[in-house]
């Protein structure tokens, strides 16, 4: 069996990237993988519906982090999607026989080891399979404290889950990795891509503009949708922001951790200041979540209104815009 070291992480995709790289001898933390992969994002896309509710995302598209890692010079990544389930499972077994830990994209709904309350039809989950015992696969699922097992039949179903972001049996593994990662340029590139998405996009629904757009919409939900539906929409935003896999504060705390680690790596004090500003943006997101949870539970205090929540989100936008403008200026100073 492959001697694969499982490390628990907050977010599945960056956790898988970090675990796979660590297996190849490159020690990298999850937060660093998240930052280098340019994982932070904001998008409010009301025309895409999840269970009838608008798509809100605080992270980049599924697969973005891994794709960026695959593009780093010196790192070779094998990626494949399949049409047939049998072929996909056969290729997984072949890779395991060759002692290669394999990353998979799966749906969450079909994984029996997931807590019941989190089994929604979410298809962009990532995990690493590192062995097979009888009919069970041994899995290092980064959001779990320890390794887990999954029967082959369920894993096959999870790999071929249908719906939005269908994984189509996607599997990937590292074919080569350099002795040492030159982190400086990767950190700078990672920050650059996030700044570009948050500040310089022309689309009004993503980045800082997207945050403000959502605040504007959120304010009108009670009038437009009625109280019950407005509360459902609100709960959905909070779930996307805080539920399993975000590390808290809609990935803002994870990105702050990345900035802190980068500050140590590059010996640059200013990154620490940006990290603490981003942490206060994350705290603001959490205050919004607390207020929203009270409203959803019908325990609203005086002042817990949709208007107040929209204000809170505007404050988040203001704080984040400041951080990313400073980061952009910092980028210009870099050699």
Would you give the end-to-end CA distance of the chain in angstroms? 45
Nearer to other proteins, 180 or 299 (CB): 299
Q: Considering only CA atoms, which of 111, 108, 36, 92 is closest in space to residue 66?
A: 36
Q: Does 31 bind other proteins (CB under 8 A)?
A: yes
Select from 4-12, 39-47, 65-73, 74-82 the region that touches other proteins (CB under 8 A): 4-12
Name the residue nearer to other proteins (CB basis): 70 or 248. 248
- C-alpha distances out from residue 154 to 8, 110, 118, 295, 306, Å: 22, 6, 16, 38, 42
For residue 104, state whether it binds other proteins (rule: CB under 8 A): no
Residue-wise burial string across 121-130, b where 16 or more C-beta atoms lie within 10 A, e elsewhere? ebbbbbbbbb
Cβ closer to other proteins: 211 or 254? 254
Say whether residue 190 binds other proteins (CB under 8 A). Answer: no
Cβ nearer to other proteins, comparing 11 with 68: 11
**Contacting other proteins within 276-315 (CB under 8 A):** 276, 279, 282-283, 286, 289-290, 292-293, 296-297
Is residue 257 close enough to count as binding other proteins by CB under 8 A? Answer: yes
Q: Any contact of residue 33 with other proteins (CB under 8 A)?
A: no
Render 296-331 in DSSP notation, one character per residue: HTT-PPTT--HHHHHHHHHHHHHHHHHHHHHHHHHH
Q: Which is nearer to other proteins, 13 or 242 (CB)?
A: 242
Which residues, in sequence order, are CB contacts of 241 under 8 Å at separation 6+? 56, 58, 249, 250, 285, 289
Q: Which stretches of 51-85 are assigned E, i.e. beta strand? A: 53-59, 76-80
Q: Binding to other proteins by residue 117, rule CB under 8 A?
A: yes
Which residues lie near other proteins (CB under 8 A)?
A: 8-10, 30-31, 51, 109-110, 112-121, 133, 136, 138-139, 143-149, 162-163, 166, 231-232, 235-236, 238-239, 242-244, 246-249, 253-254, 256-257, 260, 272, 275-276, 279, 282-283, 286, 289-290, 292-293, 296-297
């Amino acid at each position: 069996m492959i001697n694969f070291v499982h490390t628990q992480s907050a977010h599945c995709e960056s956790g898988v990237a970090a675990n796979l790289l660590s297996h190849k001898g490159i020690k990298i933390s999850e937060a660093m993988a998240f930052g280098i992969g340019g994982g932070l994002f904001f998008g409010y896309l009301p025309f895409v519906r999840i269970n009838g509710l608008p798509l809100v995302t605080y992270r980049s598209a599924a697969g973005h982090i891994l794709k960026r890692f695959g593009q780093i010079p010196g790192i070779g990544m094998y990626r494949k999607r399949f049409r047939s389930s049998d072929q996909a499972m056969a290729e997984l077994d072949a890779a395991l026989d060759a002692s290669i830990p394999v990353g998979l994209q799966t749906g969450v709904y079909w994984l029996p080891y997931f807590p019941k309350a989190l089994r929604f039809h979410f298809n962009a989950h990532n995990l690493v399979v590192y062995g097979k015992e009888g009919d069970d696969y041994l899995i290092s699922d980064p959001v779990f404290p320890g390794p887990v097992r999954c029967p082959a039949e369920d894993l096959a179903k999870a790999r071929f889950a249908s719906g939005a972001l269908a994984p189509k049996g996607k599997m990937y593994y590292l074919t080569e990795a350099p002795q040492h990662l030159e982190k400086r340029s990767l950190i700078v590139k990672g920050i650059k891509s996030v700044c570009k998405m948050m500040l310089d996009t022309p689309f009004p629904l993503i980045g800082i503009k997207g945050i403000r757009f959502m605040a504007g919409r959120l304010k009108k939900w009670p009038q437009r949708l009625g109280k019950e539906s407005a509360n459902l929409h609100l709960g959905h935003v909070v779930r996307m922001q805080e539920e399993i896999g975000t590390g808290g504060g809609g990935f803002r705390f994870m990105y702050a951790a990345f900035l802190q680690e980068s500050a140590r790596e590059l010996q640059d004090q200013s990154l620490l200041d940006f990290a603490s500003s981003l942490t206060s943006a994350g705290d603001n997101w959490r205050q919004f979540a607390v207020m929203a949870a009270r409203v959803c539970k019908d325990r609203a205090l005086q002042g817990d209104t949709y208007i107040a929540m929209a204000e809170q989100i505007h404050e988040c936008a203001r704080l984040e815009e400041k951080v990313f403008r400073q980061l952009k200026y910092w980028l210009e100073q870099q050699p």
